[in-house]
Structure 1
Amino acid sequence: MSDHSHIDDHHAGEIAPAQTEIIWRTFWILLGITAVEFALAYFMKAGGLRTSIFVIMTLVKAFYIVGEFMHLKHEVKSLIWAIVVPVIFIVWLLVALLTEGGSIFELR
């Protein structure tokens, strides 16, 4: 008999197959979103709609990255809401400031 401990069946530095599956799934999802963004950049005319789509897709990617790589999706719901709600208000504030800030040029 050997004196080796069989606590971990993987060699040092190896990633478990379940973890690599999650990593690859995340890679393909982010690649798909980025490919759509790339296609829109070349095939859609510049304008407010294209910019809005880019902002929305970027926010989706950011939330997905935070959820997967920073493990936020595995946290308790109250912590998730404590982070998401202020972000929503900050985005609303930025939209309001940009909208109202542009009206200064109309008054002159």
Structure 2
Amino acid sequence: MSDHSHGTHEVGEIPPANTGLIWRTFFILSAITAVEFTLAYFMKAGGLRTSIFVIMTLIKAFYIVGEFMHLKHEVKSLIWAIVIPIVFIIWLLVALLTEGGSIFQLR
């Protein structure tokens, strides 16, 4: 009979968890969140603070998608097929918010 075990593990044995990767991800996301809270506490409310929050939130979102949804291990064309539409959606939102705010200046 052939051996159907995969890798060096015995049948029924669970491979060890990669806790180092999980802790690294935890500390990176915690550091970004700590910077966000620090900026929220010390910076005056305005467009710059909001822009920094949006950028940092996008960084965390891309990191979460890359790590937990395993997107960073995919083919580069799949990553670009996801990232490019997101960039255009963000551009559209910025354009709509900018143009939508100008209605108050016309009155």
Q: Is TM (by shorter chain) over 0.5?
A: yes
Amino acid at match of 1:46: A
Query: Which ranges of structure 2 fall in alignment gaps of 5 or more residues?
Result: none
Displacement of 1:8 after TM fit? Answer: 2.0
Equivalents in 2 of 1:73, 1:103: separation in Å? 40
Q: Which residue pairs with 1:43 in the alignment? A: 42
Equivalents in 2 of 1:8, 1:43: separation in Å? 52
Structure 1 residue ranges, 4+ long, deviating more than 6 angstroms after superposition: none
Displacement of 1:30 after TM fit? Answer: 0.1
Equivalents in 2 of 1:76, 1:106: separation in Å? 47
Q: Which residue pairs with 1:73 in the alignment? A: 72
Q: Alignment RMSD, CA only? A: 1.9
Q: Which residue pairs with 2:106 in the alignment? A: 107
Count of paired positions: 101
Q: Which residue pairs with 1:28 in the alignment? A: 27
Displacement of 1:7 after TM fit? Answer: 4.3
Q: TM-score, normalised by structure 2?
A: 0.87
Q: Which residue pairs with 1:8 in the alignment? A: 9
Amino acid at match of 1:8: H
Query: Which ranges of structure 1 fall in alignment gaps of 5 or more residues?
Result: none
Equivalents in 2 of 1:103, 1:21: separation in Å? 50
Q: TM-score, normalised by structure 1?
A: 0.86
Displacement of 1:26 after TM fit? Answer: 0.4
Equivalents in 2 of 1:77, 1:11: separation in Å? 34
Equivalent pairs: percent with the same residue? 78
